Amino acid sequence: MTMNSKLMVGNWKMNGSLAANASLLSEVLSGMGGVTCRSAVCVPAAYLAPSQSLLAGSALALGAQDVSAHDAGAYTGEVSATMLRDFAVRYAIVGHSERRQYHGESDAVVASKVQRALAVGITPIVCVGESQSEREAGQTEAVVKRQLAAVIHANGHCVSEIVLAYEPVWAIGTGLTATPEQAQAVHAVLRVQLQAATAHADRVSILYGGSMNAANAASLLALPDVDGGLIGGASLKAPEFLAMLKAASR
C-alpha cells in the first residue's frame, strides 16, 4: 500500500465533443465537494486546450491518452511530451491495451514513451494486462511481468515516478470485472517487481482498470495493493464518476 491518497483517473478514450466535454467537466467540478482523493481526466489530444481552461484552478488534473516515443520531427500525427507539457498535462496514459492491440505498440515502444514523459515531468500511467486467452493459459503473471520489465529496463530506478495500471484486457469495456482476489493477486505481483527495481516502490500507485464502476469501486479500492482506478465508460457519466471519486475519498 502506498502512502499517497488514492488516484482516480478517467480515460475518455475517443469520446466527446467541445460541448459535451464542457458540460461533463462542469458537472464533475461542481460535485467535487468532499473529494479528497487525487483525480484526473485523460482527454483526446484535440481537446487538451479547452479542457485545460475548464480545469484551471481545480483539483481535477489534466491527462493525455498517449505520447509519442520521439522528441520532435517527421512523425506525422504524433504528439510529443513537450507539446503535452504546453497544456499543463500532468499524466499521460502509456501502453493502453487499445494502443498495443490496434496500433502495434511493443513493450519497447511503450518503454520509450515512458522515458519521453518522465523527461518532461509528466507522470506516465503505464498500462499492463493479459488477454482472455493468456489468462486461460495461465500466463497472466508472466505477461504483466514482461510488460513491466521492459519499462524498468529502460527507466531504471526512475520507475518510482510512474503510475502503473493493471487492466486485464478481457475486463475492458466488457462489463466483466476482475474479482477482488484476481485483482489483488496481480497487483501484489507487480508491487514485488517494483520493489526489486527501486527502493521507492511505495511511491508508485497501482491502479485497477476494467469495467470499474460506482457499484464495484469500493470493494476494489479496499484491496491492500489497489491504489486507485483507471476508468473508461463510467468516467463519461458525471454522477457515476463522482460517486467513484467519493468512494476513493473514504
Interface residues toward ligand 13P, by CB under 6 A: 11, 96, 167, 172-173, 209-212, 230-234
* Number of helices and strands in the chain (H, E): 10, 8
Tell me the C-alpha to C-alpha distance, in Å, between residue 212 and each of 113, 138, 179, 240.
Answer: 26, 23, 11, 10
Q: How far is the CB of 245 from ligand 13P (least distance, A)?
A: 15
Tell me the three cell numbers of residue 126. Answer: 503505464
Burial (Cβ within 10 Å: 0-12, 13-18, ≥19) of residue 9: buried
Say whether 130 is catalytic. no
* Closer CB to ligand 13P, 228 or 233, in the complex: 233
* Closer CB to ligand 13P, 100 or 246, in the complex: 100
* Closer CB to ligand 13P, 223 or 232, in the complex: 232
| Closest of 195, 171, 207 to residue 93, by C-alpha | 207
Q: How far is the CB of 72 from ligand 13P (least distance, A)?
A: 27
Q: How far is the CB of 236 from ligand 13P (least distance, A)?
A: 9
* Closer CB to ligand 13P, 121 or 173, in the complex: 173
Say whether 157 is catalytic. no
Yes or no: say if 49 and 87 are a contact pair by the CB < 8 Å rule: yes
Separation of alpha carbons 115 and 62, rounded Å: 19
Which residue's C-beta sits nearest to ligand 13P?
Answer: 232
Residues annotated as catalytic (active site), given as ranges:
96, 167
